Chains A and B, each alone.
Chain A
């Protein structure tokens, strides 16, 4: 298993690390039992995500995909952010080893979770807009609900 140069770059120098104190939405996915948790903070002004930061517990790929996902949605409209797929995150990182693909799914879900929180705070039901957030997509018998 080897990471691409881009993955290593985003792991070694992650972009947008930290918290946004007055965030418009905060989303968290993953769980400690599986070995990765991503928390995304977004600041929305008008219809645009003006800032995005993350905190991640996880492997190199989890940190790199979090970093890349924040880069991909920063300055974008909500509609554009909602269209972000794990595939786009992977492609932007020049690929991920097969066992690490779930990290890119987690990054996509973390963005959606933050947007979901944004709508909830506005008093809007997020499910029709954002969809259902999956906590864990990988089946490795870690014992979490999704695996079971």
Chain B
């Protein structure tokens, strides 16, 4: 059996999305900035995609949506753009959390080199930022609060509306990296007082290389990519027309089927979590189960190391991850798991499974068989497991 269970890393392109994109990769190749027919048709496709994306996140105005090359660009732009715009207004402080994606954390670190001070909030054992901690960290010189909507490794969904309200009351800008959340949980930038929001198409069966940044009207932000007058002179570069069309189509499909899918995936997820916790001794679920993306499982199995577990599962036909795909070249345990307070030796033994609509109950049956077998096999020759058992 072949099981793809790494949808938090990326998803398969939906055939319907490919179909929507194909004309813009073939006959409608015009540059949207050109005046002739095939340029104008491309331009129309970009603008109607913008309207769709705006509507789907509850934005008031399509002009608040800027297309980017993906989530990392959107995060970089949001943080660098706002900080640079507000620096000469006496703002030099950023609030974020310890378990953000590196596209946020590393940008915050680079802002530290430019004279900004950054507060990294704790996320506690349940993997949730406390709104009161945000409130307590806000200062008169705070330029931006950036807290992810849902964590990419452990899938915990943050109290975004509460944080948004606190920021709005304190008149501080609020950015959220919603790359993992869009299409999986309902989002409304107006109701949740979000000023900037990052998203990317490939996390919900859209194409890679296309994302968007929502920027509320009136938010001061400097450009990240300078050049031509595309995106109302805010983001240069000839539009990725097919990508943008694919982004909008994928988002429409994902959000349209969100409720049913959430119900199905939550049921599958919980059956797998309960099954693994009850059959594998010294295993744990990382992060809150209640405030969690429907398709995310992140567990630790003591006495084994994550990469060997993944390789063994791969040989058994299962594509999974030990954490973020973006850090797989690193030897260090996940910064997300360490932020939950897990010791290094336990954080090394993590497994992330992330499901989509393509996964089935048969997959769960197979995983309930193959994961305990693999853990038991690796433990059978683990000197660490011997030590744990003899304690």
Contact = CB atoms under 8 A, between A and B. Distances in A.
A binds B: yes
Contacts of B382: 37, 55-57
- Chain A contact residues (Cβ within 8 angstroms of B): what range? 20 to 34
A58 B343 CA distance: 16
Contacts of A11: 308, 311
Contact of A35 (B305, B315, B328): B305
A14 B383 CA distance: 15
Contact of A142 (B304, B344, B381): B344
Contact of B311 (A17, A56, A60): A60
A47 B37 CA distance: 86
Interface in A67-115: 99, 102
Contacts of B385: 57
Contacts of A62: 305, 308
Contact of A32 (B306, B312, B348): B348
Given A57-B303, A59-B308, A60-B311, A17 B348 contact: no
A43 interface: no
Contacts of B306: 59
Contacts of A12: 312, 315
A35 B331 contact: yes
A14 B377 CA distance: 12
- Chain B contact residues (Cβ within 8 angstroms of A): what range? 20 to 34
Contacts of B331: 34-35, 99, 102, 138, 140, 142
Contacts of A8: 311
Of listed A34, A54, A57, A62, residue having the most chain B CB within 10 A: A57
Nearest to B307: A59
A59 B305 contact: yes
A12 to B, nearest CB: 6
Of listed B303, B308, B315, B333, residue having the most chain A CB within 10 A: B308
B308 A63 contact: yes
B190 interface: no
B384 A57 contact: yes
Contacts of A18: 381
A145 to B, nearest CB: 14
Nearest to B333: A35
B329 interface: yes
A145 B221 CA distance: 46
Interface string A133-148: 0000010111100000
Contacts of A138: 331
B383 A28 contact: yes
Nearest to B348: A35
Nearest to B382: A57
Nearest to A97: B329
Nearest to A100: B331
B329 A57 contact: no
Contacts of B169: none
Interface in B353-391: 381-386
B308 A60 contact: yes
Contact of A55 (B312, B332, B386): B386
Nearest to B328: A1
Interface string A26-50: 0010001111111100000000000
A142 B308 contact: no
Contacts of A56: 381-383
B206 to A, nearest CB: 27
9 contacts: A1-B329, A32-B344, A34-B331, A55-B381, A57-B384, A62-B308, A102-B331, A138-B331, A140-B330
Interface of A: 1, 8, 11-12, 14, 17-18, 28, 32-39, 54-60, 62-63, 99, 102, 138, 140-143
Ranked nearest first, the 3 interchain pairs of A and B with the lowest CB-CB distance are A32-B345, A57-B384, A59-B307
